[in-house]
A and B are shown apart, each in its own frame.
Chain A
Amino acid sequence: MYLRRHIRRFQDRLKYGRRKGQAKWRSLFAPYRGDEVVALDIETTSMDVKQAEILSIGAVIIKANRVKTSTGLAITIQAPANLPAESVKVHLLRRVDLADGLPLEEALRKLLEFVGNRPVLGYYIAYDLAVLDKSMRPLFGFGMPNRSIDIVSLFRRRLSARAMHDCEMKLGFDDIAKQLQIPVVGRHTALGDAITTALMYVQMKSGRG
Chain B
Amino acid sequence: MSLLQNINTRVVPFSLLNAEELSYMADHMDVGYFQKGETIITGGGASEGLHLILKGFVCELEAQDQNSSHTLVHYGVEDYFGAWSAIRGKALHDFVADEETICYILPAKHLLELIYRNNHFGDYFNNLSVQQDLLANNNPDLDMAEFMLATVDTSCMRTALVVDAKSDIEHTTRLMREQRADSALVQRGKRYGMVTRTDLLNALVLDKLPTSTPVKDIANYRLITVEAGDYLFNALVRMTRHDIDRVVVMANGQLRGVVELAEALSFFSSHSHVVGMRIERAGSVEELAATAADMEALIRSLHTQGVKVRFLMDLLAALNKRLMAKLFHLLVPEDVIPHVCLVVMGSEGRGEQITKTDQDNGLIMRDGLDWPKGPEIMREYTRVLQDIGFPACPGNVMVSNPFWVQPISEWTKRMQDWVSLADEDSILKLSIVVDAAPVAGNPALYKTSRNWFFKEIQQHRRFLSAFAKVATVFDTPLTILGSIRERSNGVDLKRGGIFPIVHGIRTMALQYQIADHNTFARIAALVDIGVLPQRMGNELQEAFGVFHLLRVKAELGRLGVDTQQPGLQNRIDLNDLDRLEKDTLRQAFHVVKEFKKHLALRYQFGSGL
Contact = CB atoms under 8 A, between A and B. Distances in A.
Interface of A: 65-70, 74, 181-183, 185-186, 189, 191-192, 195, 198-199, 202-203, 206-209
B27 interface: yes
Interface in B1-19: 1-3, 5-6
B102 A182 contact: yes
Contacts of A185: 2-3, 5-6
A69 B6 contact: no
Given A70-B27, A70-B28, A203 B100 contact: yes
Contact of A66 (B31, B35, B54, B99): B31
Interface of B: 1-3, 5-6, 27-36, 54-55, 99-100, 102, 104-105, 107
7 contacts: A65-B32, A66-B31, A67-B33, A70-B30, A183-B102, A185-B3, A209-B36
Contacts of A181: 55, 100
A191 B2 contact: yes
A67 B54 CA distance: 13
A186 B1 CA distance: 9
A181 B55 CA distance: 9
Given A70-B107, A208-B36, 4 more contacts: A65-B34, A70-B27, A74-B1, A186-B3
Given A182-B102, A208-B35, A209-B100, A67 B30 contact: yes
B2 A199 contact: no
B29 A69 contact: yes
B2 A206 contact: no
Given A189-B2, A208-B36, A69 B100 contact: no
Nearest to A193: B2
Nearest to A206: B35
A206 B33 contact: yes
B102 A195 contact: no
Nearest to A192: B2
B2 A186 contact: yes
A37 B472 CA distance: 66
Contacts of A202: 33
Contacts, number: 64
B97 to A, nearest CB: 11
Nearest to B2: A186
A69 B3 CA distance: 8
Given A67-B30, A199-B102, A209-B100, A183 B2 contact: no
Contacts of A186: 2-3, 5
Q: 6 tightest CB-CB pairs across the interface, nearest first?
A: A186-B2, A67-B31, A202-B33, A192-B2, A65-B33, A70-B28
Contacts of B28: 70
Contacts of B34: 65
B35 A183 contact: no
B32 A67 contact: yes
Given A185-B2, A185-B3, A195 B31 contact: yes
A70 to B, nearest CB: 5
B5 A66 contact: no
Contacts of B55: 181-183
Contacts of A183: 6, 54-55, 102
A60 B36 CA distance: 24
Contacts of B33: 65-67, 199, 202-203, 206-207
Contacts of B36: 208-209
Contacts of B1: 74, 191
B48 to A, nearest CB: 9
A198 B102 CA distance: 12
Contacts of A191: 1-2
A206 B32 CA distance: 12
A195 B100 CA distance: 17
A208 B37 CA distance: 11
Contacts of A192: 2
Most buried by A among B3, B5, B33, B104: B33
A190 B170 CA distance: 79
A199 B31 contact: yes
A179 to B, nearest CB: 13
A70 B31 CA distance: 9
Most buried by B among A68, A183, A198: A183
Nearest to B37: A208
Contact of A69 (B5, B30, B35, B99): B30
B53 to A, nearest CB: 11
Contacts of B102: 182-183, 199
A159 to B, nearest CB: 18
Contacts of B3: 69, 185-186, 195
Most buried by A among B30, B55, B99: B30
A182 B36 CA distance: 15
A144 B35 CA distance: 33
Contacts of B104: 69
A92 to B, nearest CB: 13
A182 B34 CA distance: 12
A191 B102 CA distance: 18
Contacts of B27: 70
A189 B2 CA distance: 8
A181 B100 CA distance: 9
A206 B97 CA distance: 14
A191 to B, nearest CB: 6
